[in-house]
Amino acid sequence: MEEKIKDIWVFGDLRNRKLFELYINVLGRAKKFAGSACGRVTAVLIGSSNTRLKFDSHRQTHLQLEAAADESISRGADYVHIIDDSRLALPRADSFASVLADAVIRQGPMLVLFALTDFGRELAARTAKMTNSGLIAQCMDLKMEKGRVVAKCPSSSSGVMAEIIFSEESRTGFVTMQPAVSQTPEAQGNPGHIDWIKVDRLDILEGPKLLSSSPLRETKRPLEEADTVVVGGGGLHNAENFSMIRELAETLGGEIGATRPPVLQRWVEEERLVGQTGKTIRPKLLFSVGTSGAIQYTSGIKDSKVIVAINRDKDSPVFNIADLGIVADAKTFLPLLINRVKQTMTYRKGEH
């Protein structure tokens, strides 16, 4: 009996160039995996070809469907499914999940991959639920073993890598992937094939309505260029405590950074992630608060000029890379530090 071709779908994020590149990264990972799984890669692009949008925070225009389809093919996609409808002009996880779930139910791909972004995470979770499929989150790599997909994913604590499989009865598996780990593929001159998928049914939640949209406030400077950065870690425990990181950064005239837990918990935007999968920074002064000093984080800060680490555990590895180590509970120490910095700043202003 002829073996069924394994279809690997990759969701294409068209919101801006930066996010599109993350998707292209995942496409590259899918292409490599497809080679070992005897599969083919299909890009899935959702939007409206009639609507021209300009709404992203990076001062770049929303990518147009046809141009994105051509680029997907030139970067390795064997097929592109375009789901085009004027009601899909605005990227919303509820409407996108509705049409994506429909297509998944009709065509039954083996895998659907998403770059690990806020939107990718939400869309993957919604669509997996609507199609009654399994979802593997934060995958670093995929391989085939004994005819089954095995996903390699880090656990939330450092140093442990888990291998996860879908259940036997699973028809389609959903995966969110770390995009920065894979290499962006070179253009390949692939012949490719584009399908336009008609939308029969579209379920949009009645509740949420877009009233207005405007670009995110530009940060004063990119994180990589800031002289002072205050990084908050998992030791802050909640969003409320994390707001003290914002206050300290603001008081010092610096920028906020974060380790992975605050980003995963959504206390802070993912563009603030520092480390191996985030940004590499070299500020003159860096505060690292409630961070354990995992290598994946410290690789992104090791060239900072002065590192001040605050941790309640005197044996924390973060002290190995700190110029100044403070053993203290962040919750009680940060308000004191913020007050002191404010006083010093006021005093300095008074001097001039």
Ligand X SMILES: Cc1cc2nc3c(=O)[nH]c(=O)nc-3n(C[C@H](O)[C@H](O)[C@H](O)COP(=O)(O)OP(=O)(O)OC[C@H]3O[C@@H](n4cnc5c(N)ncnc54)[C@H](O)[C@@H]3O)c2cc1C
61 binds ligand X (CB under 6 A): no
Give the nearer residue to ligand X in terms of CB position, either 92 or 121: 121
**DSSP letters of 268-336?**
S-GGGBBSTTSB----SEEEEES----HHHHTTTTT-SEEEEEES-TT-GGGGS-SEEEES-HHHHHHH
Give the nearer residue to ligand X in terms of CB position, either 90 or 181: 181
275 binds ligand X (CB under 6 A): yes
Q: Which of 25, 95, 98, 277 binds ligand X (CB under 6 A)?
A: 277
15 binds ligand X (CB under 6 A): no
Distance CA 89, CA 341 (A): 47
257 binds ligand X (CB under 6 A): no
Distance CA 319, CA 290 (A): 11
What residues from 137 to 166 belong to the interface with ligand X (CB under 6 A)? Answer: 140, 154, 157-158
Candidate ranges 98-106, 202-210, 229-237, 337-345; the one touching ligand X (CB under 6 A): 229-237
Calculate the alpha carbon distances from 45 to 53, 79, 225 in Å: 15, 11, 34
Around Cβ 226, how many Cβ atoms within 10 Å?
Answer: 24
Candidate ranges 30-38, 111-119, 287-295, 335-343; the one touching ligand X (CB under 6 A): 287-295
Distance CA 76, CA 13 (A): 16
| Minimum distance of ligand X from residue 298's CB (angstroms) | 8
Which of 275-294 are b and which e, b meaning 16 or more Cβ less than 10 Å from the residue's Cβ? Answer: bbbbbebbbebbbbbbbbbb
313 binds ligand X (CB under 6 A): yes
Tell me which residue of 60, 43, 36 sits closest to 9, measured CA to CA: 43
179 binds ligand X (CB under 6 A): no
Give the nearer residue to ligand X in terms of CB position, either 41 or 153: 153
316 binds ligand X (CB under 6 A): yes
Give the nearer residue to ligand X in terms of CB position, either 120 or 234: 234
Distance CA 308, CA 311 (A): 10
330 binds ligand X (CB under 6 A): yes
| Minimum distance of ligand X from residue 256's CB (angstroms) | 13
Count of residues near ligand X by CB under 6 A: 30
Site residues, ligand X (CB under 6 A): 140, 154, 157-158, 233-235, 259-261, 273-278, 290-292, 294, 296-297, 310-313, 316, 329-331
